Each structure stands twice: as structure tokens, then as C-alpha cells.
Structure 1
Amino acid sequence: MTSARTRDDRERYDEDEISAAQAAREGQRQVVALTGRDALGITSIQPTDDGWLVGVEVVEDHRIPASTDLLGLYEVELDMTGSLLGYRRTRRYQRGKGDGG
């Protein structure tokens, strides 16, 4: 038994696939919708075997001064059509702190 798709199936499937730019926008939209937090932007986008992995930075907690805001880095997993497969926060840090501390 083979799982090979016919040419028509491949063409129809390819038409439904989203681009990296579309995946990035969709990943950001999903994080905002799920967390209710303000997104600062996309930090990464990479293809996976069956979709996209999108990194999105969000403001977890607004503080005064803004340099002390708490930020979160979320990883969003989408399938090839842009449907959400999962998400998780991978990091939480203060805006004014670099990677070193």
C-alpha cells in the first residue's frame, strides 16, 4: 500500500500551503488571540517536516519604565495550511536584560 498522492492531489495540496511570510503572520495572530497580550514581533520562522515553527515575542507585563517590561518568547507550531498545532512559552525575561542576564 502506498501513500503517494496523485498529481491533482499534489496540486490541490500545494495551493492550500501557506508561505513563510503568511505562516509568520498567522503565528503572531494566534499567540495574540490565545494569550490576549501585545505582540512585539516575529523573532523566527522555520519550516518543519509538516509545517512551520514561528517564534513570537510578546509583552507579558507592562511596567514603568518600559525598559523593565516582562517579555515572553512563544513558539507556535502550524501545519502547512496555517492551522494551529500547538504553542508554548519558551522564555520569559525583562526587556532591559540581554541574553546574558
Structure 2
Amino acid sequence: MRDDYEEMEPLGTAEVARTAVREIGQLTGKSASGITALEACDDGGWRVEVEVVEDRRIPSSGDLLAVYRADLTPDGDLAGLRRIKQYQRGKGDGDAP
């Protein structure tokens, strides 16, 4: 979210990615391991997919991972959040629903 006194300029992709990672971390309590997708939407907003470690295991090949989709408004506010995939590291990337 941007302060009211800031001049409204379009968000850059790096700022969009940081915002999505921060919001997902705050809402899930999990840390991001990477951005898996980032795209501009027709309405000027953004859709970002972020991979997080949901459950750390030993060895790490047993970690449970998830991908969250964050929809951001053109101003960078979170408009929606959804976990779209969950899978075990090393057992595939979870692309199949």
C-alpha cells in the first residue's frame, strides 16, 4: 500500500514482487522461496505467484511446498490471495490440479 502523498506512478515489477512476497508472508506466516510468475492484468493490476515452504522436513527433499497467487490493485494493495498448489519437493512441481 502506498502513502497518500506519493505521486501515483505505475508500480515497477520489482516493487510488485516485493509487495506480493511481503503480503503473503504476513498472511501465511511462511517465508517465500521464490516468485514463480508475475503478470500485468488488463485492469492495471498485477497477478503474482509465490512459492513458499509450508512445512520443513529432514531431509529437505521432503519439504511441503505451496504456490500462492496474489492479485494486486494498480496501487499495490492486495485484492485477493489464494493457495493454488501444494506439493512435496522432489515429487513433482504440483502443476496438475
- Shorter-chain TM-score bucket reads 0.7 to 0.9
Greater helix proportion: 1
Q: Which has the larger radius of gyration?
A: 1
**Structure 2 unaligned runs (5+)?**
1-6
TM-score, normalised to structure 2, is 0.83
Residue of structure 2 in register with 1:21 after alignment? 14
Residue of structure 1 in register with 2:33 after alignment? 40
**What are the superposed Cα offsets for residues 9-57 of structure 1, whole Å, 9 maximum, x if unpaired?**
xxx64x2x21122111111111001000121011110000220000000
**Structure 1 unaligned runs (5+)?**
1-11
Residue of structure 2 in register with 1:81 after alignment? 75
How much identity, in percent, do the aligned residues show? 51
TM-score, normalised to structure 1, is 0.80
| Pairwise CA RMSD | 1.6
Residue of structure 1 in register with 2:55 after alignment? 61
Q: How many residues align?
A: 88
**How far apart are the structure 2 equivalents of 1:77 and 1:37?**
18
